Structures are given as structure tokens and as C-alpha cells.
Chains A and B, each alone.
Chain A
């Protein structure tokens, strides 16, 4: 694994316009960065990332299976009790999931360590599945990279295949896609998924999260009884929906009370509320202690202080790295503010990101349909930062 400096494609901005990649620059700073790429050996990809990804994912599913059958554990996830049955049923019914992204710290030598599981609303999917794929094609065509260069990235192929198989689980259903208003990045991610779903032969609609309505439909059992139904802006009933909006928010919002009665099928399914929750991390450590790809993690700060020289305190629910503190040898050495933390915290061993040419590098390892499907590489220029991280492409050496 190494970082290789390269020239940008002279026409990449034009390519971005051609393919509608609008969020390559955010808040005035570069997000997509092709002034360098990461190079991996096939062995690093397969033995150090792909295999552990599959194993970690299965371990995470084992935790879900335990939690849905244990109310004491369920309580640790800070999910309102009224929704436990809704989540439990979705797991027992094996409602299919589309994708997840495991965030790994990996330096090319030591075992990859799992930071967290973005199992509900992972982004950087378009950049990973399509845009870095196109970058490699262009680099090979222009002769800069060897024709046998490869990439760990079958994301788009697997997404289309997964949508096709889901179309057989929910035949003849319209799939509604949804995300919040005013975020170009989320809208771009959802557009990408719509493109993949259409490529798989599904029919799609789009509605913003804020515009979702609530109506009633007849139960259809001749009793004349009605059940709640979510609707789009054309008053069409939403039978099947992909939402790029976290379960932990939706469950607590005004329409949250209608989930268990409405008959909508969800992507991601409700049981993903357990996987994307940081309470997963201490439970993984309890179930699989000393696993080489796990970091020690605890619910209790005293326990963490007893076992670990340095640890990170993370809120159970959070976005954007907010409300994180680092403790080294009993001293708080870093703290970020934010609106999260009211639901409690977890305490994970402080394991710094590896450094390549003064950049700190994080691997996102994707699963589509429970199979490892590719990686994304993101960089920050400081170890602990409030800056935007940048997305860099990668290759597997020929």
C-alpha cells in the first residue's frame, strides 16, 4: 500500500459535468482529489480487506441476532421501546438489505481495525462505484496506468444485481427514492442509486423526506378497516422506499408512530438501526474479544480507563465527527463540539489513522448484498481535524 502522486486528467472537470458529478468541490474546498492515488497489492486487498470485511459483517449480524432476542441489550441501543417490535420483526422476516460501509484503519501491514459500521445511510457511493471506476478507465486509455491495473470496485455491478434480485422479492412495485432537501451530495447519491435501479429494470419515483405525506388505505381484507400509508406528492401510496435518512431520526419524528402499521417495505430495512448504532461496537468486543480486526470498546468509561491508556469517547448517535473527545493517559487531548450525545456514549481504544505523506488515510469497505464489493479511500491532512476529508481513487497493482 502506497500513495502515488499523479497528474490530474486535464479534462476531469468536463467529465464531471458530463456525468453530473456536482459535489467534487464542497464548501470551497476540493473533495475529489486525483492528484494522487493509493496503490494496493492483490494480497492486501483480498486477505487484509475483503476477507475481514466479510467476517466483520457476519459478526455484526450475529450481534443483531442476539440483540433482537434480548431486551436488556436492546435498551443499550437507545431506540424508543415502542419500535423494538418493528425492528425485531424486520430482522425475523429477513427483510433484505442493500448496502453497508465499514470504516477501517489500515496501513498495508497490520490487521485492519473497524472504527464503525455505516450500515444505514452510507455515502460516497457514487464516487466509489462509478467515478473512481471512470478515473481508472480514463487513466488506462490515456496510457498513464498499465492496462492490467485493477481496482477493488464491483460496487455498481453488484448494486444493479442486488436491485434486480430485490425486484423479485417485491414484484411489480414502484420503488420510491428519498433524501433531504438542500444537499447536493445526498441528492447525487440517491440519483446514482436510481440509475442503478432503473438499469436493473425497476420503476422509480423520487420524493424529498420533508415532502412525504401520510394518508390511509383500506386493509384489503374486506373488513373495510384502514391502515396508515405514506404518500408522495402525487398522493401515490409508497409501497417500497429507499431513504437516505437515518432510522434513529425517523423513529423519533412525528410520523414515527405509523411505522409498525404502515405496510411500506424499507431500504435499508429497520433492523439496520441496530447495525449503524455505535452501541454495536462494545457488543462486538464482548462477543468477539481480542478479535484482530476489532478495537477494545466499552459502554463504561471506568472500564475503558482501566483497560486502555488512551481512548475515544463517541456519541451513540452522531454525524460528521461531532461530539468526539480523545483521552490520553487520563488527559483530554481533543474535543469537538456538536449537537449529539444526549443518548449516551461509547469508549473505544484510541487507534490513530495511518499516515501517508502527511495525510491520514481512512478506508471505507463496501458491502452490497452482504458481499464485500469495493473500497473508498479518504484522506485528512491532520489526524484530528474539523476540515473536509478528500476522496482519492485507488488501484490494485498489475
Chain B
């Protein structure tokens, strides 16, 4: 057979009213400087999704998984690193406390020397991922993500688990939860964008050329658009 054996047609379907195949999570904008936690999005799934376990710290994880000391340590350390790099940061203790409650914020000095207040990591999610590699064997990996909770009644995260990008995962209890795969979506660093619009000028200039912008080449070049 010279063609693809089978295709997951569910993924390829794009009916407008069918949002299930293409989940586009709403994102509350947790920016590093001015933090607003007004819009919380509940992403815990009642059915389906990935099973994760929430632990309070390394000791909690090890006590429940005595043979997984390495996994617990690296998962917790990864979670703390993600929290420091991608989590909410405040320039004042008051602002952080307003969102996350009393005695729940800690000072943090970035590598650049800048001083911040950040909410304490209240727990971390750990999920086991089994990758199917080839037909014969599978490989185990773990994903972890930091969780915060808020003691402030002004916060939508009051008594809830929340992630670095503002999702909530239900009431803050330790133990098993079901989460969507997006809970472990890699969290790139956040930075302040200094300028935009530095790409795309050529396409603008060339399309302003008054000629055959709708032409197709007989020389094997392309149709419209900027692919070839």
C-alpha cells in the first residue's frame, strides 16, 4: 500500500458547532507585571481526560509512592521551576496578598536581580504518560505542574486549585483529579514584548504590486498565498 493506512477522521472534522474535536481553551491573561485573576476557567473534566494526582510536597508524594523517590523529587522541582518562570509575579506583597490571601506569598529574586512576590506553590499535579513507541514497547514519562490556591475571598481561586496560566481545577483537595491534557501543556517563559510587526512587511509590499496577484504559474510555482 502506497497510501496512509488510516486517518483519525474525528480530528479532521471541522464542523463549526463541533468544538469538541478542536478545544480552544480560554486563557485568562496572567501577566508577569500586572496580574489580574478575574477570569478563571474550569478545565477539570468530569469524564474522560487525564488522571492526575495532587500532592502537597515531595514528602507527601514519596509517602504515597515509596518506590518513586526520584520521580517525586524531579516532578516537584520541575513544578517549582515552572512556577518561578511562568507563574504570576507581583511587585508588592499587598497586591499578591489581595489575590492569594494572608501568609500565602513569598519573596522571590529573579536571576536578573529583580525582586518579586509570588504565591507559594501549594501542591503539584503528577500524571503518568505512557507513550506508544512503535508496536513493541511503550515508554513511561511523567508530567507535573504547579498548583496554587487562594485564601482570599476576593479571588476566583478562593479554595480552588489554580495553575500558572489561570485555569482552575476544582476544590483544593489533595488526591486524584481528572484534568484535560492541556493541564500539562508546556509553559514557555513569559516576557515583556517590546515591539511587534517586524515580520510580514515583504508580503504587504509584494501584494501591493498591481499585477497578477491572482495568477498561477505554469512554471510550477504557486497559487495565491505565500506558500509555494
In contact, A153 and B191 (Cβ under 8 angstroms): no
In contact, B199 and A183 (Cβ under 8 angstroms): no
In contact, B4 and A155 (Cβ under 8 angstroms): yes
Give the chain A neighbours of B219 by CB distance below 8 A: 115-116, 312, 314, 321, 324
Give the chain B neighbours of A45 by CB distance below 8 A: 2
Selected contact of A216 from candidates B182, B191, B218, B224, CB within 8 Å: B191
In contact, A235 and B31 (Cβ under 8 angstroms): yes
In contact, A123 and B215 (Cβ under 8 angstroms): no
The residue of chain A having its C-beta at the shortest distance from the C-beta of B209 within the complex is: A339
* Interchain nearest-CB distance for B182 vs A (Å): 8
* Interchain nearest-CB distance for A80 vs B (Å): 13
Instruction: Give complex CA distance A199, B12 in Å.
Output: 10
In contact, A215 and B216 (Cβ under 8 angstroms): no
**A122 interface residue (CB < 8 Å to B):** yes
Give the chain A neighbours of B2 by CB distance below 8 A: 42, 45, 150-154, 374, 396
Q: How many A-B residue pairs have CB under 8 A?
A: 262
**A133 and B188 in contact (CB under 8 A), knowing A19-B14, A215-B193, A339-B206?**
no
**A79 interface residue (CB < 8 Å to B):** no
Instruction: Give complex CA distance A172, B193 in Å.
Output: 23
The residue of chain A having its C-beta at the shortest distance from the C-beta of B78 within the complex is: A172
Q: B80-135: which have CB < 8 Å to A?
A: 110-113, 131
**A130 and B113 in contact (CB under 8 A), knowing A180-B203, A321-B219?**
no
Instruction: Give complex CA distance A19, B190 in Å.
Output: 35
Total number of B residues with any Cβ neighbor in A under 8 Å: 62
The residue of chain A having its C-beta at the shortest distance from the C-beta of B211 within the complex is: A337
Per-position binary interface string of chain A over residues 375-398, scored 1 when its CB falls under 8 Å from any chain B CB and 0 otherwise? 000001011111111000000100
**A253 and B223 in contact (CB under 8 A), knowing A133-B3, A321-B216?**
no
Total number of A residues with any Cβ neighbor in B under 8 Å: 110
Give the chain A neighbours of B64 by CB distance below 8 A: none
Q: B1-55: which have CB < 8 Å to A?
A: 1-5, 7-8, 11-15, 27, 29, 31-32
Give the chain B neighbours of A216 by CB distance below 8 A: 191-192, 194
* Interchain nearest-CB distance for B211 vs A (Å): 5
* Interchain nearest-CB distance for A242 vs B (Å): 12
Give the chain A neighbours of B112 by CB distance below 8 A: 218, 224, 226
* Interchain nearest-CB distance for B28 vs A (Å): 10
* Interchain nearest-CB distance for A342 vs B (Å): 11
Selected contact of B228 from candidates A121, A130, A133, CB within 8 Å: A121
Q: B163-195: which have CB < 8 Å to A?
A: 182, 185-195
In contact, A246 and B189 (Cβ under 8 angstroms): no
The residue of chain B having its C-beta at the shortest distance from the C-beta of A257 within the complex is: B198
**A353 interface residue (CB < 8 Å to B):** yes
The residue of chain B having its C-beta at the shortest distance from the C-beta of A17 within the complex is: B15
Give the chain A neighbours of B199 by CB distance below 8 A: 209-210, 212, 245, 250, 253-255
Give the chain A neighbours of B11 by CB distance below 8 A: 195, 198-199
Give the chain B neighbours of A121 by CB distance below 8 A: 226-228
Instruction: Give complex CA distance A252, B195 in Å.
Output: 17
Instruction: Give complex CA distance A216, B217 in Å.
Output: 41
Give the chain A neighbours of B29 by CB distance below 8 A: 234
Per-position binary interface string of chain A over residues 281-318, scored 1 when its CB falls under 8 Å from any chain B CB and 0 otherwise? 00000000000000000000000000000001010001
Give the chain B neighbours of A20 by CB distance below 8 A: 12-14
**B140 interface residue (CB < 8 Å to A):** no
Instruction: Give complex CA distance A194, B136 in Å.
Output: 27
**A82 interface residue (CB < 8 Å to B):** no
* Interchain nearest-CB distance for A180 vs B (Å): 5
Per-position binary interface string of chain B over residues 202-226, scored 1 when its CB falls under 8 Å from any chain A CB and 0 otherwise? 1101100101111111111111111
Give the chain A neighbours of B197 by CB distance below 8 A: 210-211, 254
**A213 and B203 in contact (CB under 8 A), knowing A183-B226, A220-B111?**
no
User: 4 tightest A-B contacts by CB?
Assistant: A321-B217, A20-B14, A123-B227, A255-B198
Task: Sample 18 A-B pairs with CB under 8 A, ordered by A number.
Answer: A42-B2, A103-B220, A152-B3, A174-B187, A186-B226, A199-B11, A211-B197, A212-B196, A229-B191, A231-B191, A235-B32, A235-B192, A235-B193, A237-B191, A239-B188, A319-B222, A320-B215, A321-B219
